[in-house]
Structures are given as structure tokens and as C-alpha cells.
Amino acid sequence: MANQKILTIQDISCVGQCSLTVALPVISACGIETCVLPSAVLSTHTGGFSGYTFRDLTEDMPGINEHWKKENIKFGAIYTGYLGSTKQIDYVKTIFKEAADTECLKVVDPAMADNGKLYAGFDEVFVEAMKGLCSTADYLLPNITEACLVTGVEYKAEYDRAYVDLILAKLQELGCKNIILTGISYSEGRTGVVVFENGKYSYYEHEKVAKGCHGTGDIYASAFVGALMRGKSAYDAAKIAADYVVLCIKETQKEENHWYGARFEPVLGKLIEMLEQ
């Protein structure tokens, strides 16, 4: 792509190795200019910390976009992560239309649920709004819970290929062009990612590390976007991102008290090496 400039829209958790504090360094390490639009600023993420501060930046978003329009600033890819409200989703839809260059890739990580449940603060109204955003994505990166929520398919913790195919079909009906379905496990002790691109199904399976970490979904999505913008196929980008997340989790396990995030920084060099292969 001629314009190697990515915009990522999500919150900043100042401490906690997630959202923009992951996306900015990971995508930058992939060699791509990374621009940010913060949707909120939190002193820490909400998973395990208490008494954190929160400043909503929703009303700043349209003014930032208007300034970009005046400066004729366009992006070769726009990647969305955690969005805090339906109003933010509406603003993102506008930014998709007005800040995208002619070949812009729109990547949506509908970060709103896991393990069969919505995150705190979200409801069916938010799900409906997110469904509309997902339908505009060139690449959609849901976990199985999020995919079930936007398609209306009943969530199951245990499933087979036919169940996954049903979800993929429903996502296609929604308008999703290419789908990266994460955390798909067909056998005990293994997990992987389903890549559905241009009507073709493929699956990359890898080891399942017993103890996960906060923020690995953000690491995965950021590494995927960075690899995709480096010219990797969707399958290769999905594989690189999965392998990188496994490395991050294993690196984190070396430090017993590092409970609040994944130590992605010490293995950024490994991500760069994978991109060069």
C-alpha cells in the first residue's frame, strides 16, 4: 500500500499493557507509522485495579476529525479496539468515511466480551451498534463470544467445525468481508485462529498456554494489523500474531508478580524477526 500510515482508535490505560499502550509500540515495531485517537484515558485498566481514574474523550473525537479534514490527513488503515459507548461507535463510522484514503483497510476488533459474557458497562444496545460497525470492516477480529453476540448464535464453550462454520456464515450475512476468529480450540491443550478470507477457510493451531494474561487480545490485534500492513497475507499475519502472543505469555510467566499485563516488550525483536521471514 502506498500510504503506510495507520490510525488506531481505542482508550489509553496509562498502566496495564493494553489498548493504545500496546498498539502504538507493537505496530510501530512493525515499521509502520502509527497515529492514535484516544477514546478515553484511564490511570490503569479495570481488570484487577481499584479506584482508577477515568476521563471520557468522546466529545473530543469529532473535533480531531475535523482538524484532520482541514489538513487533508488520510490513513492507509484504521484499526479500532475498545470503544466505550454507542456514541463513540457513531463517531468511528464517520471517521471511516472521512479519514480513509482510497485503499484504506478498516480493521475492527469488537472488544466487548469474553467467556460467554459482555464486559461490564455494555448492553444489547451497544451490541447492536457494534454489529453495524462490524459490517463495515474489511477485517473483523472477534473472539467466539463476540462473534456470537453480533450474529445471534447461541454461545457454546464446546463446539465443532460445523458450529464455527455457522458463525462464519452469519458474519458473512452481516457483511463482514474477511474474518479472523480467535481462540478457537478443537482439541484439549491446543487453540488457534480461524482465518476466513475471500471465501476460503484456514486454521492455524498452536499450543494453549495454561495461564493467560491481561491484554493479549490487544497484542494479537496490533501484531496482526502490523503484519498485514507489511504485506503479509491474512493467514500469515494471523499466524505471526498468534506465535507472538504465545511468546509474550511465556515471557510474562518468568516474572511471578506480573499479573496486570503481558510482557510484550522483551520479545518485540522476535516479532520483527518473524516479519522478515
DSSP state of 137: -
pLDDT tens sequence across 31-81: 999 999 999 999 999 888 999 999 999 999 999 999 999 999 999 999 999
- pLDDT value of residue 3: 54
5-276 topology per CATH:
UDP-N-acetylmuramoyl-L-alanine:D-glutamate ligase (3.40.1190)
Joined together, the cell numbers standing for residue 75 give 490513513
* Residue bearing cell 464517520: 94
Beta carbons of 52 and 44 less than 8 angstroms apart:
yes
CB atoms within 10 A of CB 225: 28
Nearest-angstrom CA–CA distance, 161 and 168: 10
What residues does each domain of the chain span?
A: 5-276
- pLDDT value of residue 1: 47
Question: pTM for this structure?
Answer: 0.96
pLDDT lower than 50: segments of the chain: 1-2
The C-alpha angle with vertex 105 and arms to 274 and 221, in degrees rounded to 5, equals 45
